Amino acid sequence: MRRKHARKVLEQFSLVDALVAGLFDGVFSLEEVSRAGTLGLGCGDHMDGELVLHEGVWRQFHGDGSVSVLGAADTVPFAEVVDFDPDRTELIEAVPGFEALAAEIAALVPSPNLFHAVRFDAHFASISLREAVRQEKPYLPLAQAVHTQREIVLSDVSGTLLGFVAPQVFQGVTVAGPHFHFVDESGQQGGHVLGLTGATGELAVETYYGVTVHLPGSPDYLAAELDPEGADAAIRHAESDHQH
């Protein structure tokens, strides 16, 4: 297990509070976002699907089950990206569930009060995913928009789980706690991780001592009434499964 002390920052585009308010238009080009690194996640324009940035390639897993590889001209409403260079790695076996994986990550990092990027290349007995369904204007708030999300379970699958663990005090700026997306080895299946079972693989983490937030300049964002006090319940609802 290798350790280092470089104090890097996570690059974030927009706020989760903006998504909570229903600001789903793509306002950041992937040309701009991709300058921040090669590992990350986000959501699609019009809240269409879940995004995975894996080894420099953006994939969009749509709510209809299809997948697209995105290019520099494509736009997104929200993304988090890092120049990932893990400072801790460990082989872990037979992780029984999502909470157990979170505990394994917590054991590798110095504090829950910092930001951490995660990459877990593993085989899963099962992994539960969701893909948001494209929305149309006038947009509903996030807590209502997710009611139509597509939920799937992949069994006996290998791939990469990746994402971030953020301090609780940043809820609303980002998603506090674990926030992970997944892409399988074929690159054809993936989405936001809701749960998992029986995972074995290499877990890699890197700690970040700050976050740079790029705020939208769109008229909708400038006029939005953001409600940080109501964000926690809305985010928890949006992050859960069984929305139907």
Q: What is the pLDDT of residues 67-90, one digit of tens each?
A: 999 999 999 999 999 999 999 999
Domain 10-239 adopts which CATH fold?
60s Ribosomal Protein L30; Chain: A; (3.30.1330)
**Residue 233 in this model has a pLDDT that exceeds 90:** no
Whole-structure pTM value: 0.92
What tokens appear for 221 in the block? 């964002």
> pLDDT category, 240, cuts 50, 70, 90?
low
Q: Given CA atoms 153, 108, 111, 33 in this order, what sign does their dihedral have? A: negative
Condensed to tens digits (0 to 9), the pLDDT of residues 126-170 reads 999 999 999 998 888 888 877 789 999 999 999 999 999 999 999
What tokens appear for 43 in the block? 């959501």
- What is the pLDDT at residue 148? 83
- What is the pLDDT at residue 242? 43
Q: Where are the domains of the chain?
A: 10-239
> pLDDT category, 229, cuts 50, 70, 90?
low
- What is the pLDDT at residue 143? 80
- What is the pLDDT at residue 236? 60
- Asked if 142 contacts 132 with a C-beta cutoff of 8 angstroms, the reply is no
**Residue 50 in this model has a pLDDT that exceeds 80:** yes
- What is the pLDDT at residue 17? 94
Condensed to tens digits (0 to 9), the pLDDT of residues 161-208 reads 999 999 999 999 999 999 999 999 999 999 999 999 999 999 999 999
Q: In sequence order, what DSSP letters do the residues of 157-169 get, joined into one string? A: EEEEEEEEEE-GG
- pLDDT > 90: percent of the chain: 83
- Asked if 131 contacts 150 with a C-beta cutoff of 8 angstroms, the reply is yes
- Asked if 206 contacts 117 with a C-beta cutoff of 8 angstroms, the reply is yes
**Residue 232 in this model has a pLDDT that exceeds 90:** no
- What is the pLDDT at residue 230? 59
- Asked if 85 contacts 206 with a C-beta cutoff of 8 angstroms, the reply is yes
